[in-house]
Amino acid sequence: GLGFDSIPCSVFQKLLKRLSAIFGVSFGIRRLYMKTLLKVFEWATVRLERGAKENNHPLYKPYSNEIKEIRRSGSNKDLDSASEFEMSDIFYFARRGVESIMDDEVTKRFSAEELESWNLLTRSNYNFQYISLRLTVLWGLGLLIRYGLLLPLRVTLAFTGVGLLVFLTSLIGLLPNGRIKNLLSEKVHLMCYRICVRALTAIITYHDSENKPKNGGICVANHTSPIDVIILASDGCYAMVGQIHGGLMGVIQRSMVKACPHVWFERSEVKDRHLVAKRLSDHVDDKTKLPILIFPEGTCINNTSVMMFKKGSFEIGTTVYPVAIKYDPRFGDAFWNSSKFGMVNYLLRMMSSWAIVCSVWYLPPMSREEGEDAVHFANRVKAAIARQGGLVDLLWDGGLKRDKVKDTFKEEQQKLYSKMLVGTQEDRSRS
């Protein structure tokens, strides 16, 4: 037979990579890779800044700063002395409108996060120009490594993970329900998700694992990317919730539900809140079933903030396990701008990045307090996630990404204007 020394080095390295992916074992190679990249990024940024200063041109895409409060003058004085609407009030609202456009808390949460340093990706430096021969050679070498070496390997791992998931879960689905089927299902899901994580060169740090979600509960997390699912599922098994799809995604969903009781809804069922709540309640009432994984924001946010949680997940009387996910954008931007990139294009961008680095915090379980409604409970959980992940806690609905502003928000501004007029009238009567 063949001796160990006769095995080609590249084949042996690929074998090690696959074994580490399957069994969740780390050889420390990815950590060394990350530290090396940081050193390269530091040198490239210093060299780029020095060259930019010499050539006198900006480096990064302009970023709008918050407009400072404009001193009251002119027509705004009329606003202080008026007890009812006057034409000069238009200038006040025009100013507020300009401020909102320049520093919109919602819109800027759906664009890529700005970097303080250059990571040798042109997508993170829109004004990249020739600076020096060494820097250009380094950028070209990085391009060759990412697209010529890493991308083919990652695509291979991705197809391997997805293919194994579909094949093995379909086989497990043939077994009778019971302890052996559940055990095999968990092992297969973990193995396949870990292979998919390696397809992204994901370097994940999990904190406070003693707080990991347990059966009969709901895991809620902030949402940055579709890969949030595999980031969490590679460390523990969950029951997924979502709409039934066609095509490849439909094949994956049908195979997964054969091995594990995931909660899939038809398109017509998604809008029926009572039906959704009933299906979720029935699932968590069965303590033998896996915890449900839900992203209450309902859309992807750019890794800087947490936006309004939909209250539906918090109306169910069960324990909620909050999880905070924070990505490091220096190695690759994990945010999915679905209005700009399709799923395939997005995944190719992820696989052609240097790596996906993130931290995951398992927070202590939370339950609704006596007399607390679902909205306040959702806000309390959201605040805990934002605080732990170092994210901005916003009250805005992420649905504003595509929908028009709700009438309730307009009514709030009208009420605020009315209070200003009433308050001014009271001040005049006192004087």
Going by the DSSP 8-state scheme, the letter that residue 323 receives in this structure is: E
Please compute the mean of the pLDDT values over residues 318-331 and round it to a whole number. 89
**Domain co-membership, 365 together with 415:** no
Say if 285 falls within a structural domain.
Answer: yes
Of the two residues 38 and 26, the one the predictor is more confident about is 38
Lowest mean pLDDT among 64-78, 182-196, 237-251, 329-343: 64-78
Say if 356 falls within a structural domain.
Answer: yes
Say if 88 falls within a structural domain.
Answer: no
Summarize pLDDT for 277-303 with one digit per residue, the tens: 888 888 888 888 889 899 988 888 888
**Domain co-membership, 255 together with 329:** yes
Contact 307, 398 (CB under 8 A): yes
Of the two residues 352 and 271, the one the predictor is more confident about is 352
pLDDT at 127: 53
Residues 6+ apart with CB under 8 A from 386: 222, 305, 306, 324, 392, 393
Q: List the alpha helices (DSSP H) in 173-246.
A: 179-198, 228-233
**Domain co-membership, 348 together with 381:** yes
Say if 60 falls within a structural domain.
Answer: no
Summarize pLDDT for 359-410 with one digit per residue, the tens: 999 999 998 888 888 889 999 999 999 999 888 888 766 555 555 666 676 6
Q: Where in 86-243 does DSSP place strands (E)?
A: 202-207, 218-221, 239-243
What is the number of structural domains in the chain?
Answer: 2
pLDDT at 359: 92
pLDDT at 361: 95
Of the two residues 268 and 213, the one the predictor is more confident about is 213
Reported as a pLDDT band with limits 50, 70 and 90, residue 239 is confident
Task: Give Cα 52 distance to the centre of its chain.
Answer: 33
Whole-number Å distance between alpha carbons of 229 and 336: 13
**Domain co-membership, 291 together with 198:** yes
Going by the DSSP 8-state scheme, the letter that residue 276 receives in this structure is: H
Q: Residue 420 belongs to what domain range? A: 404-431
**Domain co-membership, 410 together with 306:** no
**Residues belonging to the chain:** 431
Most confident of 233-237, 246-250, 409-413: 233-237
**Domain co-membership, 369 together with 427:** no
Say if 83 falls within a structural domain.
Answer: no
Classified as helix, coil or strand, 205 is strand
The torsion angles phi and psi of 358, rounded to 5 degrees, stand at -155, 160
Task: Give Cα 14 distance to the centre of its chain.
Answer: 30
**Domain co-membership, 427 together with 316:** no
Say if 298 falls within a structural domain.
Answer: yes
Query: Whole-model pTM above 0.85?
Result: no
pLDDT at 79: 39
pLDDT at 425: 52
Whole-number Å distance between alpha carbons of 52 and 218: 50
**Domain co-membership, 428 together with 337:** no
Whole-number Å distance between alpha carbons of 334 and 347: 10
**Domain co-membership, 363 together with 414:** no
Please compute the mean of the pLDDT values over residues 409-430 and round it to a whole number. 66
The answer to whether residue 66 scores a pLDDT higher than 50 is no
pLDDT at 324: 94
Whole-number Å distance between alpha carbons of 110 and 337: 7
Buried/exposed code over 387-398 (b: 16+ C-beta within 10 A; e: otherwise): ebbebeebebbb
pLDDT above 90: percentage of residues in the chain: 16
Say if 204 falls within a structural domain.
Answer: yes
**Domain co-membership, 392 together with 414:** no
The answer to whether residue 40 scores a pLDDT higher than 60 is yes
**Domain co-membership, 295 together with 351:** yes
Closest CA relative to residue 243, chosen from 276, 281, 217: 276
pLDDT at 8: 44
**Domain co-membership, 190 together with 292:** yes
